[in-house]
A and B are shown apart, each in its own frame.
Chain A
């Protein structure tokens, strides 16, 4: 599986990670190497095999649909790089 530079840039964009030109080149080799290595899974016959979705068979617990938590606005913005009146401050997104 050969990953080209355009694919590396597309994936980095999807992952919201800025990469340098140099990284775009070195990542092609690294990602191709790892993806090549995992293609050995193609040897495994998996027709009719269910994908594993949970490790231990169990049904999810339910609880009454009532508020059990909250009133923690101070806590929630406490570690924010920028906040104002319990709001997170971000660069303008709508002109």
Chain B
């Protein structure tokens, strides 16, 4: 049997159906790959091999009986932001301690109901706040990709896998799972996907239930998959998405068969290219990538149109008011009383203050303080209300664009994967990582990142397609065209196997 961990999710599904291997064999292969590779990559913060093998055995029984679900026996990784019943869930924050939920998030429940196997919990930036996975309590995740010198020699310098879903992107890129769950508040699915040569989609706000996902900024947070291919992402989103009465912002609209959208012709599709995304100092290789993406879509019959989204440059500063404000409110629940860490103090308030000082990392503390400031008496109108008005204008930019185009094409990130510590010292430099992705969250739209090529240093670059609300199907059709033209990007040297952390 060849290495089954290299299969795409869709091919593994076929292999199980044709009985080329069992769910148990498939799961065992991933358990071994995680044992051999996780020390160096730190993608999993809690591997759950025993549970995975138990789930796989149940899948094999259902496969034999002919009662298999759509994801039967397929091993996935779950971001540690998703509450998993009986399995420690920490959002990679010390403040959650050894929190072990007694309930299951709706998204993971949907996956398990469909037969999926959980290999373990994946690393992320603390409370999903970060773009490099450097703020996790469990330490940083390492990108499986490394830079290549002109001679072809592989550099030893570790690169970040993007964030906040850095464990998800690294695990998928290194074949430590067939696919992974992720969440995206300002780019946390699409940016790590771009930096690791994987596919990531943030669906329309309301498409996936947020119930049981540790909250960061409730009006921006959405779940979605990171996967090896566009098809795999379509398969996973089809199961993750659902209407859920437990999330009042979840939208009661049918989930289409996304797989059926793959291979659909994009002849006549109107593609918008926003001039405001041509930012100062954009590297020539990112511009080349963008031009290639335009050419591929044109060659498939799409028409390309210059458009303007005039409030683009204000999306990031508005985001850094709205997101911290909502985070300071959401994170008020971590009080050392009901769950997680408690650092005893002289009285109750002192207990709160010591617990939160010890439990939250530096970036989380910074954002809670910014959020508290902008929401405090006398400042609400100047900051939060202003930002929410700007948000209306950002959404209007897109509403206007939809009369002329069906999708918008942009690069996913301004640059390829960077080294550790390169941007950690300057919060604003790190925030600029999300410059092309954050508008999509502000407007609640769906966005997909699909690999478009490699940088001059041999590391992946991503193209982003933005769609109309609830039109993920068109994104999948167009992303498939890009994937067919660009090809797949797989790390060609598994340096992490057997390497020490």
Q: Contact residues of A with B, CB < 8 Å?
A: 3, 7-8, 11-19, 27, 30-31, 33-35, 37-38, 40-44, 46, 49-56, 58, 60-61, 63, 72, 75-76, 78-82, 88, 90-93
**Residue of A43, A49, A54, A93 contacting most chain B CB atoms (<10 Å):** A49
Q: Which residues of B contact A15 (CB under 8 A)?
A: 328, 356, 368-369, 372
Q: Tell me if A38 and B317 are in contact (CB < 8 A).
A: yes
Contact mask for chain B residues 224-256; partner A; CB cutoff 8 A; 1 contact, 0 none: 000000000000000000000100110110000
Q: Tell me if B100 and A79 are in contact (CB < 8 A).
A: yes
Q: How far is the CA of A18 from the CA of B350 in the complex (A)?
A: 8
Secondary structure of the A contact surface, majority rule: loop
Q: Tell me if A17 and B206 are in contact (CB < 8 A).
A: no
Asked whether B61 is an interface residue with its Cβ less than 8 Å from the other chain, the reply is: no
Q: How far is the CA of A15 from the CA of B368 in the complex (A)?
A: 7
With A50-B389, A52-B391, A80-B339 in contact, do A11 and B376 touch (Cβ < 8 Å)? Answer: yes
**Residue of B332, B346, B352, B370 contacting most chain A CB atoms (<10 Å):** B370
With A38-B321, A55-B219 in contact, do A82 and B342 touch (Cβ < 8 Å)? Answer: yes
Contact mask for chain B residues 326-350; partner A; CB cutoff 8 A; 1 contact, 0 none: 0010001001111111101111111
Pick from A30, A46, A90, A91: contact of B389, CB below 8 A.
A46
Q: Tell me if B320 and A38 are in contact (CB < 8 A).
A: yes
Minimum CB–CB distance for A21 against chain B, Å: 13
Contact mask for chain B residues 346-369; partner A; CB cutoff 8 A; 1 contact, 0 none: 111111111011001000011011
Q: Tell me if A11 and B353 are in contact (CB < 8 A).
A: no
Q: Which residues of B contact A88 (CB under 8 A)?
A: 337-338
Q: Tell me if A51 and B389 are in contact (CB < 8 A).
A: yes
Pick from A11, A55, A72, A78: contact of B205, CB below 8 A.
A55
Q: Tell me if A18 and B356 are in contact (CB < 8 A).
A: yes
Pick from B314, B342, B357, B443: contact of A17, CB below 8 A.
B357
Q: How far is the CA of A61 from the CA of B251 in the complex (A)?
A: 10
Q: How far is the CA of A79 from the CA of B57 in the complex (A)?
A: 30
Q: Contact residues of B with A, CB < 8 Å?
A: 97, 99-100, 102-103, 204-206, 219, 245, 248-249, 251-252, 311, 313-314, 317-318, 320-321, 328, 332, 335-342, 344-354, 356-357, 360, 365-366, 368-370, 372-373, 376, 383, 385-393, 395, 427-428, 443-444, 469
Q: Tell me if A37 and B337 are in contact (CB < 8 A).
A: no
Q: A15-B356, A18-B356, A44-B314 are in contact. List 12 more A-B contacts (CB 8 A).
A: A11-B369, A11-B373, A17-B365, A27-B369, A33-B428, A52-B389, A52-B395, A56-B469, A72-B102, A79-B100, A81-B342, A91-B346
Q: Which residues of A contact B366 (CB under 8 A)?
A: 27, 30-31, 34
In the complex formed, the residue of A with least CB distance to B311 is A44
Q: Which residues of A contact B332 (CB under 8 A)?
A: 16
Q: Tell me if B392 and A55 are in contact (CB < 8 A).
A: no
Q: How far is the CA of A34 from the CA of B373 in the complex (A)?
A: 11
Q: List 20 A-B contacts (CB under 8 A).
A: A11-B373, A11-B376, A15-B328, A18-B357, A31-B366, A34-B427, A35-B370, A35-B373, A38-B383, A40-B313, A41-B386, A42-B386, A46-B393, A51-B392, A55-B206, A79-B339, A80-B339, A88-B337, A91-B348, A93-B347
Q: Tell me if B352 and A16 are in contact (CB < 8 A).
A: yes
Number of A-B contacts (CB under 8 A): 156
Q: Which residues of B contact A75 (CB under 8 A)?
A: 102-103
Q: Tell me if B248 and A79 are in contact (CB < 8 A).
A: no
Q: Which residues of A contact B336 (CB under 8 A)?
A: 81
Q: Tell me if B357 and A80 are in contact (CB < 8 A).
A: no
Q: How far is the CA of A60 from the CA of B337 in the complex (A)?
A: 32
**Residue of B311, B356, B389 contacting most chain A CB atoms (<10 Å):** B389
Nearest 5 CB-CB pairings of A with B? A55-B444, A51-B388, A79-B339, A81-B342, A18-B353
Q: Which residues of B contact A14 (CB under 8 A)?
A: 372, 376
Q: Tell me if B372 and A79 are in contact (CB < 8 A).
A: no
Q: Tell me if B385 and A19 are in contact (CB < 8 A).
A: no
Minimum CB–CB distance for B340 against chain A, Å: 7
In the complex formed, the residue of A with least CB distance to B470 is A56
Q: Which residues of A contact B427 (CB under 8 A)?
A: 30, 33-34
Q: Tell me if A41 and B390 are in contact (CB < 8 A).
A: yes
Pick from B205, B337, B339: contact of A56, CB below 8 A.
B205
Q: How far is the CA of A87 from the CA of B15 in the complex (A)?
A: 52
Q: Tell me if B428 and A34 are in contact (CB < 8 A).
A: yes
Q: How far is the CA of A46 from the CA of B314 in the complex (A)?
A: 12
In the complex formed, the residue of B with least CB distance to A58 is B251
Q: How far is the CA of A11 from the CA of B366 in the complex (A)?
A: 11
Q: Which residues of A contact B314 (CB under 8 A)?
A: 40-41, 43-44
Q: Which residues of B contact A50 (CB under 8 A)?
A: 389, 392
Pick from A7, A41, A78, A91: contact of B318, CB below 8 A.
A41
Q: Tell me if A93 and B390 are in contact (CB < 8 A).
A: no
Q: How far is the CA of A91 from the CA of B443 in the complex (A)?
A: 44
Q: Which residues of A contact B469 (CB under 8 A)?
A: 56
Minimum CB–CB distance for B115 against chain A, Å: 26
With A40-B314, A52-B395 in contact, do A17 and B368 touch (Cβ < 8 Å)? Answer: yes
Pick from B369, B385, B388: contact of A12, CB below 8 A.
B369
Minimum CB–CB distance for A45 against chain B, Å: 9
Minimum CB–CB distance for A32 against chain B, Å: 11
Q: Which residues of A contact B103 (CB under 8 A)?
A: 75
